[in-house]
Amino acid sequence: MEDLGLIQAIANNDKEAFNSLFSKYYRPLVIYITTYTNDVPASEDIVQQVFITIWEKRLKLEGVKSLKSYLYKIAYNTFIDQYRTTKKQNLFFEELRQDILRELITENKEYQEKRILQLKKLINTLPPKCKEILELNKLRGLNYKEIASKLNISEKTVDAQMRLAFKKIRLGFEDNNLLLYIALMPSNEVKKTFC
CATH number of the domain encompassing residue 166 = 1.10.10
Residue 60: what pLDDT? 83
Asked whether residue 34 is domain-assigned, the answer is: yes
* Greater pLDDT, 89 or 16: 16
Asked whether residue 97 is domain-assigned, the answer is: no
Alpha helix (H) ranges present in 125-152? Answer: 128-138, 144-151
Q: Model confidence at 120, in pLDDT bands (50, 70, 90)?
A: confident
Instruction: Judge if 79 and 27 occupy the same domain.
Output: yes
Q: Which amino acid is at 83?
A: Y
Answer whether 182's CB lies under 8 Å from 119's CB: yes
Q: Model confidence at 105, in pLDDT bands (50, 70, 90)?
A: low
Instruction: Judge if 82 and 137 occupy the same domain.
Output: no
CA–CA dist 134, 128 (Å, integer): 10
Residue 26 neighbours by CB under 8 Å, 6+ apart: 47, 51
Instruction: Judge if 80 and 148 occupy the same domain.
Output: no
Asked whether residue 114 is domain-assigned, the answer is: no
Q: Which amino acid is at 44?
A: E
Residue 176: what pLDDT? 43
Q: Average pLDDT for residues 110-127, to the nearest whole number?
A: 80
Asked whether residue 72 is domain-assigned, the answer is: yes
Domain count of the fold of the chain: 2
Instruction: Judge if 130 and 173 occupy the same domain.
Output: yes
Q: Average pLDDT for residues 106-131, to the nearest whole number?
A: 79
Is residue 184 pLDDT above 70, yes or no? no
Is residue 69 pLDDT above 60, yes or no? yes
Instruction: Judge if 72 and 137 occupy the same domain.
Output: no
Asked whether residue 112 is domain-assigned, the answer is: no
* Greater pLDDT, 87 or 41: 41
Answer whether 58's CB lies under 8 Å from 13's CB: yes
Q: What is the DSSP string of 71-108?
A: HHHHHHHHHHHHHHHHHHHHHHHHHHHHHHHHHHHHHH
**Pick from 49, 69, 91: which residue ends a domain?**
91
Asked whether residue 47 is domain-assigned, the answer is: yes
**62: domain range?**
3-91
